[in-house]
Amino acid sequence: KAAFINFISDQEWKSIEPVSSWFGPSSFLMSSMSALFKLSMWIRHGHGYLTENLGIPVWGSYAVFGLATLFLGMVLGLVSAVLGAGCDFVT
């Protein structure tokens, strides 16, 4: 506590370089990290709901999320293929 008070009263904070805009709280990077943490919390709550409220075994919850991941990957791949079909790439 004393070190923090001295840090403020001696104005040592002025000698510290500010955080770059890339790592600032409103940057794209930090917003993306926030979204990933929110997604992980949603998955955790979904797992809890499936196992505690619906009585699905833990392995069943993992299977549901695994299948959802595969399905989402297939949908995103299909969308990517459809959008990329109109592009002429030179290989």
Which residues, 6 or more positions from 43, have their beta carbon under 8 angstroms from its beta carbon?
65
- Phi-psi label, residue 79: left if phi above 0, alpha if psi -120 to 50, beta otherwise: alpha
pLDDT at 91 over 60: no
Output the average pLDDT for the chain: 88
pLDDT at 25 over 70: yes
Domain presence at residue 14: no
The answer to whether the beta carbons of residues 21 and 27 sit under 8 Å apart is yes
Domain presence at residue 10: no
Which residues, 6 or more positions from 50, have their beta carbon under 8 angstroms from its beta carbon?
56, 60, 61, 64
Domain presence at residue 75: yes
pLDDT of residue 88: 62
> Range of 72's domain?
26-86
pTM: 0.58
Domain presence at residue 21: no
- The fraction of the chain above a pLDDT of 70, given in percent, is 92
Q: How many domains does the chain have?
A: 1
pLDDT at 23 over 90: no
Q: What is the mean pLDDT of residues 70-89?
A: 85
